[in-house]
């Protein structure tokens, strides 16, 4: 008996960050776009108790204890619906780890939907989204996918219209960056300045709605980029290599260190990817299009 859920990575086409709040989080205007790089989470009953395994190129960097968001999702759902969390969660990991593409959040959203299907809790979508928000700021978006504006700490979502497929290239870096460390660096760099409340760009929302890559390229922004570059200066070389290869826009994805390059069409994306691969400025390169669907059950033996 098992259930498998597929969950996408994300790129932030706008990440506007406000000042630190009293709770340590930052208010955001966070325009998420799900892209077609996926983790798959499979849940099976495990009489020996909760355990997590992982395979994939970055599997060695994934924590397999209860700090893993997949394990935390299973525990939270079990507690709320009176189930025993005796499950084996296996993560087939294709999303870069500690990369700013919400790979950990994807596993949390995936495990939640998989356990919900296995245990038949009867939870509503709103109840599942509440648990997602408790697990982490990006987890609700991993669950819903598509494109959305996230406000609050990023967990309050408003779905966005997208008028076409956008073609992306992602360059994975040689090491990860910790999200809290990048936000701390944002605070340090902003000390003594007046940081305005974050606002979504109407031009950017219009560009998404039109499916216009040139207009989107002209409006993408990431307020965390200076902080990510400050902690990881070599990323400037990766951004420059992608721009030189014809990317319409080059930016750090979320808190980084993955860098994201918007291309006009699949051919241009392949050319940018090829140039980045030989640039010596990154560890690996992937192409993907967005928007992509959110967490989706792709196999369910439980329903037989």
* Residues with catalytic roles: 10, 138
Q: Does 151 bind ligand C5P (CB under 6 A)?
A: no
Task: Classify residue 222 as exposed, middle or buried by CB count within 10 Å of its CB (0-12, 13-18, 19+).
Answer: buried
Comparing CB distances to ligand C5P, the nearer of 28 and 97 is 28
Which of 8, 11, 14, 26 forms a contact with ligand C5P (CB under 6 A)? 26
Q: Does 153 bind ligand C5P (CB under 6 A)?
A: yes
Number of residues that bind ligand C5P (CB under 6 A): 11
Minimal distance in Å, beta carbon 190 to ligand C5P? 12
Which of 8, 103, 108, 136 forms a contact with ligand C5P (CB under 6 A)? 136
Q: What is the DSSP string of 63-108?
A: --STTSHHHHHHHHHHHHHT----EEEEEE--SPTTSSS-HHHHHH
Q: Does 254 bind ligand C5P (CB under 6 A)?
A: no
In sign, the C-alpha dihedral spanning 19, 69, 100, 293 is: negative
Comparing CB distances to ligand C5P, the nearer of 32 and 183 is 183
Minimal distance in Å, beta carbon 15 to ligand C5P? 10
Report the distance separating Cα 63 and Cα 13, nearest Å: 28
Task: Classify residue 82 as exposed, middle or buried by CB count within 10 Å of its CB (0-12, 13-18, 19+).
Answer: exposed
Minimal distance in Å, beta carbon 250 to ligand C5P? 23
Please state the three-class secondary structure of 263-301 as a single string: ECCHHHHHHHHHHHHCCCCCCEEEEEEECCECCEEEEEH
Which of 28, 71, 207, 245 forms a contact with ligand C5P (CB under 6 A)? 28
Task: Classify residue 157 as exposed, middle or buried by CB count within 10 Å of its CB (0-12, 13-18, 19+).
Answer: buried
Minimal distance in Å, beta carbon 71 to ligand C5P? 14
Which of 179, 259, 268, 287 forms a contact with ligand C5P (CB under 6 A)? 179
Q: Does 180 bind ligand C5P (CB under 6 A)?
A: yes
Which residues here bind ligand C5P, judged by CB under 6 A? 25-26, 28, 136-138, 153-154, 179-180, 183
Binding residues: 96-106
């Amino acid at each position: 008996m098992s259930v498998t859920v597929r969950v996408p990575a994300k790129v932030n086409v706008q990440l506007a960050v406000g000042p630190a709040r009293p709770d340590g989080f930052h208010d955001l205007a966070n325009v998420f776009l799900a892209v077609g790089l996926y983790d798959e989470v499979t849940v099976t009953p495990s009489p020996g108790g909760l355990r997590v395994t992982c395979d994939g190129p970055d599997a060695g960097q994934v924590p397999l204890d209860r700090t893993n968001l997949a394990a935390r999702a299973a525990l939270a759902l079990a507690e709320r619906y009176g189930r025993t969390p005796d499950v084996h969660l296996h993560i087939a990991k294709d999303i870069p780890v500690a990369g700013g593409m919400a790979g950990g959040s994807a596993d949390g959203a995936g495990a939640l939907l998989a356990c919900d299907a296995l245990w038949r809790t009867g939870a509503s979508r709103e109840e599942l989204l509440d648990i997602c928000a408790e697990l982490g700021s990006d987890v609700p978006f991993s669950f819903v996918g598509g494109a959305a504006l996230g406000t609050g700490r990023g967990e309050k979502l408003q779905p966005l219209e997208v008028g076409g497929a956008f073609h992306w290239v992602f360059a994975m870096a040689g090491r990860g960056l910790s999200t809290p460390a990048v936000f701390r660096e944002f605070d340090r760099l902003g000390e003594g300045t007046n940081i305005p409340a974050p606002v979504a760009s109407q031009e950017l929302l219009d560009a998404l709605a039109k499916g216009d890559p040139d207009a989107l390229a002209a409006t993408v922004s990431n307020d965390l980029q200076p902080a990510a570059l400050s902690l990881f200066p070599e990323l400037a070389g990766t951004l420059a290599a992608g721009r030189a290869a014809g990317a319409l826009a080059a930016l750090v994805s979320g808190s980084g260190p993955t860098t994201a390059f918007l291309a006009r069409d699949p051919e241009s994306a392949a050319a940018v990817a090829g140039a980045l691969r030989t640039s010596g400025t990154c560890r690996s390169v992937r192409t993907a299009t967005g928007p992509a669907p959110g967490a989706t059950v792709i196999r369910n033996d439980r329903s037989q």
